[in-house]
Amino acid sequence: MRSTFSFVFIFAILFSIISVAGASSPATPQPSSQESVVASPSSHATTATPVASRNSAFASNEHFASNEQKKDEQQALRDDIKRMRVLVQQMETNLAFVDSGQTPLKHQFQLEIEMWRTLINQMERRLNATAR
């Protein structure tokens, strides 16, 4: 029962980390709070025109704060990945003490360890892609 709880707890942590990482890099660019959407008189399409030229000092401070926050989030994600690797290593160590025969329970643990490794590798790829 305790191992099931730990798997659920780790899964919840991973899900929240991936949600935060996915939210920090949207697939489509959204107008920022410093951009206004203006309708073109020739068509009904909308285009974004920057308003930040009047507030360039404010915009650069906001950009700096955003970069610092992004760096902090990336470092926190790196720390989480390290911790997750340690936990997977502990799972593998515990698996070595399970009966030497292949049982369904042992096979389930092997599959879960492989799943966690795959997820950790995916998180590292995303982290490396956003660090560039």
- Number of alpha helices (DSSP H) and beta strands (DSSP E) in the chain: 3, 2
Q: How far apart are CA 82 and CA 120, in angstroms?
A: 9
- Which tens digits make up the pLDDT trace of 1-34? 455 555 555 655 655 666 555 555 444 444 444 4
**Neighbouring-strand partners of residue 38:** 47
Pair of tokens at residue 17 = 């980390």
Burial of 7 (C-beta count, 10 Å sphere; 0-12/13-18/19+): middle
**Taking the CA of residue 20 as centre, how many other CA atoms within 13 Å lie in the half-sphere pointing to its CB?**
14
Pair of tokens at residue 33 = 């709070």
- Which tens digits make up the pLDDT trace of 36-70? 444 444 444 444 545 555 556 555 666 667 888 98
